[in-house]
Structure 1
Amino acid sequence: MAKLKLILALCASIAVAPVQAQAPSNEQQAAMRQAEALMRDLHPVTGDVRIPEASAGLHLGKDYYFLPAEEARRVLVEGWGNPPETANGVLGMVFPAGKTFADDVWGAVITFEPTGWVSDDDAKSTDYQELVEQMQSGEEELNAERTKQGYPAQHLVGWAQQPAYDVRTHSVVWAQNIQFAGAERNTLNYDVRLLGRNGVLSLNMVTSMDKLAETRTAAAKFAQAAAFDTGARYADYKPGIDKKAEFGVGGLVAAGVGVAAAKKLGLLGIILAFGKKFIVLLLAGGAAIAGAVRRLFGGRKAEDEGYASDYGSGSAAFEDTPAETAAEPTPDRTAP
C-alpha cells in the first residue's frame, strides 16, 4: 500500500496542473486498490504450457506468460470489469512479458470449443458484412440485459479487420471494433481461431482500437506459439469416424461475432466481447495517473527483465511436434 499512497500523493501534488492531471476520483482510487490486491494473487507461468481441454499447448518461451483459468477469469471480471458470464469457459490468458493487465496492452483470452471438425468449404463464399449487420440488429436485446446488470451498453461498429481464412495453417483471423458506452476509446477484439481435429482453439486479443496495427503484428507472432498435439491437428481428422461440426467457417465467425442464430448450431461457449473498464477508469484520470499506475504494476521490469521471469517455467512440457504455424492472412479490407 505504500506505493499506492505514493501515487495518490503524486496526484495531489499536481492538482494545480491542467485538467487532465487532476487527482484520481474515488472510483479510480477504488479501481487501483482492487488491481493491487488482484496483482498479488496472480501466478504467471512461462515456457511450455499445456491446454489439455484442447489437446494443445502454448510454446511461450520468455516472450509471454500464462495465467491459469481461475486467475484469468478474475482478471476479466475484477480487473477489466466484464460480466461474470463472459468469463465462462475461459482456459487462461496470455500477456506479453513485462506487461500486466493494468497496462494499456493486449491480453489474449484462451478458450476451446469442442465443436468437432469444422469444414472450410464455405470460407470464401460467406458474406461477412451480412454477419455484422445481423449482430448489430440484435444489440438492443443484448444491451437491455447488460444495462440491467449494471454494465455499459456495447455497439459493434464494424470489422477492424474482415475475416480471412488461411488454408495452409487452417486458421481464421478477424477483428472487431467495439464501442462501450462512456468509454473514450473503442475496444479491439482481435481473434485468431485455430481449427483442429476435435474443435477450435481461440486466441482473443483484447486491447484498444488505437493499438490495431501493433496488435496485428503481435497476433501473427503469438499465433505461432499455439499448436495442437499430434493426432489432434486438422489434418488428423478421420471422415466417418470423428465428429464433424454442423457448420463451416462462416458459422464459426458468426458465433465469434455473437450472431444469435449461431447459438442454434451448438456453439454454447460464445464469448461476445470483452472490454477493459478498469483501464478506462485509470486513463480517464490523465497521463500522470496512468503513468503512476504503470510504474506500480508494470514497474517490475526495472532491470529490463520480463514480468514473467520472476516465476518458473511451466512444469508440464507438452510433446514437441511440428507446429502448424498460424501466419496471419492478408485482410480483405479494413472497416472504417
Structure 2
Amino acid sequence: MRRVLTALLCLSLATSLPAIAADPAPQMTAQQFLESLTFREGKIKLPGDIATMDLPPNFRYLDPADAAKLITEGWGNPPGVQSLGMIVPTDVNPLSQAGWGVVVTYDKDGHVKDDDADHINYADLLKDMKEGMEENNKARKEQGYSAMTLVGWAEQPSYDKAQHKLYWAKELHTEGSNENGLNYNIRVLGREGVLVLNAVSGMQQIGQVKQEMKKVTAFTDFTPGNRYTDFNASTDKVAEYGIAALVAGGVAAKLGFFGKIFAVLLAFKKFILLGVAALGGWFWKLLGRRKEQAAAGVDLSKPE
C-alpha cells in the first residue's frame, strides 16, 4: 500500500479540496495575518502532556489551531490534518519564500523495537524506496500529475540508540520544477508510539534546515512515563514495524492517510507560494494561487 500513497493523495485532493468562494472575503495583509497568530516561546508542553519542546530563542511554537490556520489559510493546504502544533524559526517570515516550519504529530501504534537499527542497509533501502516511487508515478501520470523522483538521501538515516531518536532527509524532484525539494524527518521513539517531526523546504535551504533540525532533535523529548525506557512489556503494545519501516514509510502506509503523510501535504506550501513543484495543469486550474489567496482572505503576494 505504501507504493500508492502518492496516487491516493492526488485522488483525495480531487474530492476534498474546499470550493472556491464565489464572493471572496476581504483580504488581510500578510502582517495582519501573522498578528492573528499566537506565537509562544520557551518550554512548551505538547497537547496531552506527552512531550515537551524546550525552545531556544530562534524558534516559536503555534498550538494546533494556529498551526492549522497557517497551514491552510497561510500556505494554501487542504484542511483536515491533525497535529500537536508546529514550530517556526524566529528569524524567517513563515509567509515569505524562505519560510518553513516543523509540524509535530504523534503515532500511537505501539512501542517500536529498534533491534534492526544496526543491520539496515540504507543503500538497499533507498533503492526500494526509489522503485516504490516509480510505481507511484504510473498512477500519478494516469491521473494527469507530474512524475516525482526520489533523488537520494539529503542526509542518510542515523539512529541515536542512547536517545532513541532517528533522523534523515530526502531530496525530491518533481518533473518540470526548477528546484528540488528537501524533506527532513525526525522520529522520537517513546513508550507507546513515535513523535513525528517533519519539515519541508527547497534544497537551497538545506544548510539552514539541517543545522536547525539538529537543534530540534536535541530539545524535543517525551515526558516522564512516556519515554522509551518506560516501556512495560507486560502491559504495553509492541508496534508491528521497526526502524527500517519508519524510514521507508511503512508506518504511513499502515496507519492511515492524511495524518501519516503530512510531509507531502506540507510540500503544497512550496507548490502554491513558489511553484517549486507543479502538479500539472489541472491542479493549477483548480488551485490557482490567486483563487486560493482570495478564498483564504490573505494577501500573500507581498510577504514582509
Compute the TM-score of the two structures, normalised by the length of structure 2: 0.70
Amino acid across the alignment from 2:117: A
Shift in CA distance, 164/297, structure 1 to aligned 2, threshold 3 Å: same
Matching of residue 248 in structure 1 with residue 221 in structure 2:
no
In the alignment, does 2:160 pair up with 1:166?
Answer: yes
Provide the rounded CA distance (Å) in 2 between the counterparts of 1:130 and 1:191: 19
Q: Which runs of 5+ in 1 are unaligned?
A: 1-29, 283-292, 299-336
Q: Is the 8 A contact 1:157 1:177 kept in 2?
A: yes
Matching residue's letter, 2:52? G
Question: 8 Å contact 2:29–2:300 — kept in the other structure?
Answer: no
Q: Cα offset for 1:130?
A: 3.5
1:42 — aligned with what?
A: 37
Provide the residue aligned with 1:60 in structure 2.
55
Aligned to 1:263: 253
Contact 1:54 1:201 in 2 (8 A): no
8 Å CA contact 2:252–2:260 kept in 1: the answer is no
Q: For structure 1, which segment, 179-188 or 228-237, has the greater mean C-alpha deviation from structure 2 after superposition? A: 179-188
Q: Equivalent residue for 1:92?
A: 85
Q: Is the 8 A contact 1:113 1:267 kept in 2?
A: no
Cα shift at 1:97? 1.1
User: For 2:154 and 2:160, how far apart are their aligned partners in 1?
Assistant: 18
CA distance in structure 1 between the aligned counterparts of 2:139 and 2:82, rounded to whole angstroms: 20
- Cα deviation for residue 210 of structure 1 reads 2.0
1:254 and 1:262 in contact (8 A); partners too: no
Match of 1:311 in 2: none
User: Which secondary structure does the structure 1 equivalent of 2:226 belong to?
Assistant: coil
| Shift in alpha-carbon separation, 1:234–1:60, aligned structure 2, 3 A | same
Q: Report what 2:67 is aligned to.
A: 72
Specify whether residues 98 and 214 from structure 1 end up closer, same or farther in structure 2 by C-alpha distance, changes over 3 A only.
Answer: closer
TM-score (norm 1): 0.64
2:220 to 223, 226, 243: 226
Counterpart in 2 of 1:309?
A: none
Alignment CA distance shift 1:165-1:95 (3 Å)? same
Describe how 1:1-336 pairs up with structure 2 within 5 A: 36=30, 38-53=33-48, 55-84=50-79, 88-103=81-96, 104-139=98-133, 142=136, 153-255=147-249, 263-264=253-254, 266=255, 269-271=259-261, 272-273=263-264, 274-275=266-267, 276-281=270-275, 297-298=303-304
Distance 1:151 1:72 in 2: 28
Change (3 A) 1:225 1:131: same
- Secondary structure of the 1:118 match is coil
Residues 165 and 217, structure 2, Cα contact 8 Å, conserved in 1: no
CA drift at 1:74 = 3.7
Cα distance change on mapping 1:181 and 1:70 into 2, 3 Å: farther
Aligned amino acid, residue 93 of structure 1 = M
Name the SS of the counterpart of 2:95 in structure 1. coil
The answer as to whether partners of 2:47 and 2:84 remain within 8 angstroms in 1 is: no
Partner of 1:320: none
Change (3 A) 1:244 1:140: same
Q: Deviations over 1:211-252 (max 9, x none)?
A: 222222111112222121111111111112111111111111
Opposite residue 60 of structure 2, the aligned amino acid is Y
The verdict on how the C-alpha distance between 1:216 and 1:70 changes in structure 2, with shifts beyond 3 A counting, is same
Describe the shift of the 1:75–1:35 C-alpha distance in structure 2 as closer, same or farther (beyond 3 A): farther
Q: Which has the larger radius of gyration?
A: 1
Residue 332 (structure 1) aligns with: none
Is the alpha carbon distance of 1:57 and 1:145 closer, same or farther for their aligned partners in structure 2, counting shifts above 3 Å? Answer: farther
Q: Secondary structure at the match of 1:278?
A: helix
Alpha-carbon spacing, 1:221–1:111, altered in 2? closer, same or farther (3 Å): same
Percent same amino acid at aligned positions?
A: 35
Q: Assess, with a 3 A threshold, how the Cα gap between structure 1 residues 208 and 244 changes in structure 2: closer, same or farther.
A: same
CA distance in 2, matches of 1:180, 1:75: 24
Higher deviation after alignment, 234-243 or 179-188? 179-188
Assess, with a 3 A threshold, how the Cα gap between structure 1 residues 262 and 219 changes in structure 2: closer, same or farther: closer
Question: C-alpha root-mean-square deviation of aligned residues, in Å?
Answer: 3.3
